[in-house]
């Protein structure tokens, strides 16, 4: 398979999982190279996502590493299959890679949990709300870049629709609900749209009111995307420099605990809708 100049986060994750499997089995890179019939450098490139690997070689490696978790191996095989392109690929070369990686992560998640302290969840933003956010990016974006990001955001939201959409639990702090991105009318429309979307069977919206007090973390946006098996769970965190993707077990456990804590102090779904309705009526 040809080398990639810029592997996606999903491709890098596959490589990291294969390396972890190999290391756990005490297998050297040289042995793996001989097993798969490639040179030593290609093993390094596979494990960094620069080169792809066939489904058959994934199974060969798993077998020789004595990995008996069939669901995990099947999930790795699915990640290795070539020719799978998503709707986000049409933005490749036009938008930052990180935005495309987020869309691919969401598209392959079986369940998502997220916490927001200042912003409305991207998957639940109205176009006007999202537009207001994109217009205050530093450095300022030209009009065509704003239009691209907005179109990408709208297409991302389709992951919550369809025949078999993932469950999405969004924990939103009161501060985010009171922010007036785009002005009063845009803010009211955003809250009304939140109420509508919270009625979807696969969407759970929970509000943390100011009076709930402290919660763990630095208030950053956190998305916990559950994979087809727990070993492939991923945490995505927003930063001003772009998204970070975390998947070390200690990191996953930490953010699961954060989200559990925040869910525990949040209002119920019904009470959250009443709370949002009250804020909207006051606008």
State pLDDT tens for residues 206-252.
999 999 999 988 778 999 999 999 999 999 999 888 899 999 999 99
**How far is the C-alpha of 255 from the C-alpha of 113, rounded, in Å?**
10
Report the pLDDT value the prediction gives residue 83, as an integer from 0 to 100: 57
Please state which of the four CATH numbers 1.10.10, 2.60.120, 3.40.1350, 3.30.870 is assigned to the domain occupying 87-282.
3.30.870
Class of domain 9-80: mainly alpha
- Delimit the CATH 1.10.260.40 region(s) of the chain: 9-80
Q: What angle do CA 108, 18, 5 make, to 5 degrees?
A: 75
Report the pLDDT value the prediction gives residue 239, as an integer from 0 to 100: 86
Report the pLDDT value the prediction gives residue 82, as an integer from 0 to 100: 64
| 85 vs 130, higher pLDDT | 130
Q: Can the peptide bond before residue 139 be classed as cis, meaning omega within 30 degrees of 0? A: yes
- Delimit the CATH 3.30.870 region(s) of the chain: 87-282
Answer whether residue 5 shows pLDDT above 80.
Answer: no
Ordered strands of the 167-173 beta sheet = 203-208, 167-173, 111-116, 222-226, 234-237, 244-246
């Amino acid at each position: 398979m040809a080398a990639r100049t810029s592997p996606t986060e999903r491709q890098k994750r596959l490589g990291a999982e294969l390396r972890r499997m190999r290391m756990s089995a005490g297998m050297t890179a040289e042995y793996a190279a001989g097993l798969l019939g490639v040179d030593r450098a290609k093993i390094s490139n596979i494990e960094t996502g620069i080169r792809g690997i066939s489904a058959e070689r994934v199974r060969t490696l798993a077998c020789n590493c004595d990995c008996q978790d069939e669901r995990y191996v099947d999930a790795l095989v699915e990640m290795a299959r070539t020719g799978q392109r998503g709707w986000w690929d049409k933005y490749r070369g036009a938008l930052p890679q990180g935005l495309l990686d987020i869309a691919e992560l969401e598209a392959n998640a079986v369940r998502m949990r997220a916490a927001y302290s200042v912003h409305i969840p991207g998957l639940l933003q109205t176009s006007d709300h999202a537009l207001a956010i994109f217009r205050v990016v530093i450095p300022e974006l030209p009009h065509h870049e704003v239009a691209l990001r907005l179109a990408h955001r709208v297409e991302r939201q389709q992951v919550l629709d369809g025949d078999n959409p993932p469950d999405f639990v969004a924990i939103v702090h009161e501060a985010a609900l009171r922010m007036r991105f785009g002005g009063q009318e845009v803010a009211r429309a955003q809250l009304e749209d939140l109420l509508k979307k919270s009625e979807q069977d696969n969407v759970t919206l929970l509000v943390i009111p100011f009076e709930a007090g402290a919660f763990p973390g630095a208030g950053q946006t956190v998305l916990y995307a559950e994979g087809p098996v727990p070993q492939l769970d991923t945490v995505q965190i927003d930063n001003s420099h772009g998204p970070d993707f975390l998947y070390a077990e200690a990191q996953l456990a930490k953010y699961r605990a954060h989200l559990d804590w925040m869910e525990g102090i949040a209002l119920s779904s019904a009470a959250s809708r009443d709370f949002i309705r009250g804020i909207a009526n006051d606008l």
